[in-house]
Structure 1
Amino acid sequence: MSPDTHRATAAAILPLVGGPDNVTSVAHCMTRLRIGLRDRALVQDEALKAVPAVLGVVDDDTYQIVLGPGAVARVTPEFEALVREAPPARTAPPARPATAGALLERGTALKEARKARNATPVKLLLRRIANIFVPLIPALIGCGIIAGLNGLLTNSGLLPAVVPALAAIASGFMSLIAVFVGYNTAKEFGGTPVLGGAVAAIIVFPGVAKIEAFGQHLAPGQGGVLGALAAALLAVYVERWCRTWVPQAVDNLVTPTLTVLLPGLVTLFGLMYLAGEVAGGIGWFADRLLATGGAFAGLVLGGLFLPLVMLGLHQALIPIHTTLIEHSGYTVLLPILAMAGAGQVGAAIAVYYRLPRNRSLRTTIKSALPAGFLGVGEPLIYGVSLPLGRPFVTACVGGAAGGAFVGLFNQLGAGFGSTAIGPSGWALFPLLDGPTGLGPAIAVYAGGLSVGYAVGFAATYFFGFTPQMLTDLNTDPGPSPTLTPPSPEPAPA
């Protein structure tokens, strides 16, 4: 798509979310444009869903518009530019819904019904933690792929002069990831970002090896991202405390000093050791879980991951993945969780063949399948399976079957994982690694994808539709889609 097309998409979206005066913040993840809103009632949901580039909407702590991978990274800066360039409002903002009934339907019902279910303290905390790690994903992907390429060159003996350079490029970010986590933690929780990064930097400083805590010398990097998150969070609270009593005349000197000093001491003589023990426990538990109950664990993890994606909570697993990568060099969980996307793809293909007369839905599937094969399942979730209801459940069945397949081979000793987080589907192949070598890892992962595709297809083809659904849906609805992606709550099966 051309830049003009991306700008046109942004221009189409802006008035439908209440105009620039209604936008308080703009951000994006891998597939969604995330907008902070002053007044949710000004958003025109159905009109947004009708914009050709929009694959779905999600009403959460921010209003999220699903645009798909690649497109969202290009539309977001255009949207931000339009918001910045907009002249000050000279007229009243768009009118609210004219009747109390419409207001209830478009505002209160959405906020009360959905957020009452989703805005629990635990879920809100998980989303905030996810906000810390989501900006790091591009670097994790890039460095992970470079690490995989470096592994191939090392094993093949090719280009030996390049290997050390690639190792440095791949490892540089991971060696300092604690600093980035600390910076983002302070930013997310309302502190000064650079102070959070400064406290977290203590963890990776080589000189900590001279410090003894709990009867043993610390190791640089001990505690990893978990320690960095905890240290920066403590720094935020210390900074807030300082702001309440430090006189303004000396605030610029005293507050930064105490914000780094006090959490720094706690980090060195407590958090690094404790976070290191937690990180080691996570690694041990993941290894034992798959070694002793791999098939069942894979079944559960693969089957439940799509609902997590649907709710946007899958990003909260990033700290666990990152900890496992720090612990063993790869995360064993990601290849299993990736099977959920395979089940989704299989289910979408079955829908395509079961509804040969529904040209609109088949067009949606054809446009969303490439992203689905690369592991981005949201376009298929919000554009296909979730509105239909039953195919969402059968897609989960396919993911469970693929997860059980991969988990079984972990249980049999052919364990492997991903050296980075972010992509899944076919895009995960370059990131695979394990003690048995790259070949077995690729073979098992490909087998899991095949099982997920096949079971997702079969379960959807034979059990994904009632006779009445087939009668209603297997028709040509004309140029406009019959189904529009709803909120992230599953339709009744």
Structure 2
Amino acid sequence: MTENKNRATAAAILPLVGGAGNITSIAHCMTRLRLGLRDRTLVQDEKLAALPAVMGVVEDASTYQIVLGPGTVARVTPEFETLVEAARTASPTPTPTPTPIPLTADELAAQGAALKARQKARNATPVKLFLRKIANIFVPLIPALIGCGIIAGFNGLLVNLGWLPAVTPALAAIATGFMALIAVFVGLNTSKEFGGTPILGGAVAAIIVFPGVAKVDAFGQPLSPGQGGVLGALGAAVLAVYVEKWCRRWIPQSLDVLVTPTLTVLISGLVTVFGLMFLAGEVSTAIGDFADWLLSTGGAAAGFVLGGLFLPLVMLGLHQALIPIHTTLIEQQGFTVLLPILAMAGAGQVGAAAAVYLRLPRNTSVRRTIKSALPAGFLGVGEPLIYGVSLPLGRPFITACVGGAFGGGLVGLFNQLGGSVGSTAIGPSGWALFPLLSGNETMTVMIAVYAAGLITGYVAGFLITYFFGFSKQLLADFNVDTADPAPTRPVTGAPAEEPVSARV
């Protein structure tokens, strides 16, 4: 039954994006089906957004992204790929469906060129492209971080209760094995993302976690296995890519298969052992010390700022710079203290959406969108509320951010008072973060603090939006009867998805 439902969803989406002939690429992230399109004008946005399974649509410079939600997207994507392949086999020549609005060839070309230029201008900046590469390195690791994090939390509970002592060591090994080798996976993904041979990047990164490095002295002191962590692995793999490309350019083809991998691993490995591990270790330590200092000395203020500015960072695509920081903190301390604070941004969105629901009693379209999107919002999937409700309205997006700031301030205050509430993985937020909570307090205390932060975000987002989120003109424009669902306009220029990014 579930398989038929997923196939039906894929079948409903395909004609609305221009058919199989209009698809150039298919991929998916944690919540979005990401499509490359030949002709953007063939997409029927209104009908697509009205599908029951579609939570929203987002565009960036290179892909058209359909928000389906976690779990669903992983099941719909293979069905979609099967339908596209079947259609191409039946009709090898691309036959896109006609444009709903009749346009001349010149008008169509001009429209497409303007859209493409606008998207590139907004998203293809060097900083955003670089940050997107960094995100692409870490995003594939999120499922393992989540799974191992939940197992670690469950194992900790069993240990505290004294239950199943014969099983807990095995669970500890399962939960920590991935983190012990995460540098290798970072090296593989980095090399792949920067255009090198993945296995060479992994081989160089593996040096960092090899126990034998303890016998090596660098800068006057012995190295420690794992020193430099994911940042060292990132730097080592990037260096390996450049060495490999240099070798491919200058080494004769007859010797390439032997010389290139040897020189790549040797040169990059020596630089890693005698330089990068030490330097990356110092940077990693500084990141951990700074996070601890920031929250211990100004936790309430820092939490307020982080909780309030996170969603604007998401809209600018700058949130992706936080992913290596989260991963470094998890590697060092076992949890990241920043994620529970940033997750409060989603609580502000939920509270704001509830206020919009009450302030627009006559707009059945907006209220219907909110009712369908709120359950996902409580679970930390924020795209439907952001792109379907608060951001298009304007002012409610700002008041939602303020609501998240109050929630972040409360969690930050707890850290300032000496406690800590963190997450053992990145990606989930909202209620979905409860199983991943960790810190220096009992689980009961951490759950209470995080829940108090969520409630504060809900209430603050609701009250501020209810009283200050609407001007008279905004109410006059939107508090009107709507016989049919209002079209959900795609948000152009939105950043590519990252687990810990828009999913708040």
TM-score, normalised to structure 2, is 0.91
Matched, 1:31 2:31: yes
Percent identity reads 73
Distance in 2 (alpha carbons) for counterparts of 1:18 and 1:205: 51
Matched, 1:268 2:273: yes
Cα drift, residue 483 of structure 1: 4.4
Residue among 354, 359, 365 paired with 1:354: 359
Aligned to 1:98: 104
Aligned to 1:471: 476
Cα drift, residue 450 of structure 1: 0.9
Distance in 2 (alpha carbons) for counterparts of 1:318 and 1:46: 34
Q: Note the aligned Cα RMSD (angstroms).
A: 2.2
Q: Do the aligned residues in 1 keep the contact of 2:352 with 2:465 (CA within 8 Å)?
A: yes
Matched, 1:169 2:170: no
Distance in 1 (alpha carbons) for counterparts of 2:488 and 2:58: 15
One-letter code aligned to 1:73: A
Aligned to 2:501: none
Aligned to 1:74: 75
Q: What pairs up with 1:324-363 in 2 under 5 angstroms? A: 324-363=329-368
Aligned to 2:12: 12
Q: What pairs up with 1:18-417 in 2 under 5 angstroms? A: 18-40=18-40, 42-63=42-63, 64-85=65-86, 86-87=88-89, 89-90=92-93, 93=96, 98=104, 100-105=106-111, 107-417=112-422
Q: Do the aligned residues in 1 keep the contact of 2:59 with 2:490 (CA within 8 Å)?
A: no
Moved more, 353-362 or 366-375: 353-362
Distance in 2 (alpha carbons) for counterparts of 1:201 and 1:160: 32
Distance in 1 (alpha carbons) for counterparts of 2:385 and 2:40: 26
Distance in 2 (alpha carbons) for counterparts of 1:385 and 1:212: 55
User: C-alpha offsets along residues 446-469 of structure 1, whole Å, 9 cap, x if unaligned?
Assistant: 111111000100111111122232
Cα drift, residue 100 of structure 1: 4.1
Considering Cα pairs closer than 8 Å and 6+ residues apart, tell me whether 1 or 2 has the greater RCO. Answer: 2
Aligned to 2:57, the other structure's residue is in SS state strand
Cα drift, residue 190 of structure 1: 1.3
Residue among 428, 436, 444 paired with 1:431: 436
TM-score, normalised to structure 1, is 0.93
Aligned to 2:498: none
Q: Do the aligned residues in 1 keep the contact of 2:61 with 2:493 (CA within 8 Å)?
A: no
Q: Do the aligned residues in 2 keep the contact of 1:309 with 1:378 (CA within 8 Å)?
A: no
User: C-alpha offsets along residues 236-274 of structure 1, whole Å, 9 cap, x if unaligned?
Assistant: 111111111222222222222222221111111111111
Cα drift, residue 234 of structure 1: 1.1
Q: Do the aligned residues in 2 keep the contact of 1:384 with 1:485 (CA within 8 Å)?
A: no
Distance in 1 (alpha carbons) for counterparts of 2:25 and 2:202: 23
Cα drift, residue 79 of structure 1: 1.9
Distance in 1 (alpha carbons) for counterparts of 2:18 and 2:210: 48
Aligned to 1:423, the other structure's residue is in SS state coil
Cα distance, 1:38–1:230 mapped onto 2, change above 3 Å:
farther
Cα drift, residue 307 of structure 1: 2.2
One-letter code aligned to 2:348: G
TM superposition outliers: structure 1 runs of 4+ over 6 Å: none
Q: What pairs up with 1:443-454 in 2 under 5 angstroms? A: 443-454=448-459
One-letter code aligned to 2:80: F
Q: Do the aligned residues in 2 keep the contact of 1:414 with 1:440 (CA within 8 Å)?
A: no
What runs of 5+ residues in structure 1 fail to find an aligned partner?
Answer: none
Aligned residues: 489
Cα drift, residue 91 of structure 1: 5.4
Q: Do the aligned residues in 2 keep the contact of 1:31 with 1:378 (CA within 8 Å)?
A: no
Aligned to 2:485: 480
One-letter code aligned to 1:90: T
One-letter code aligned to 1:26: I
Aligned to 1:158, the other structure's residue is in SS state coil
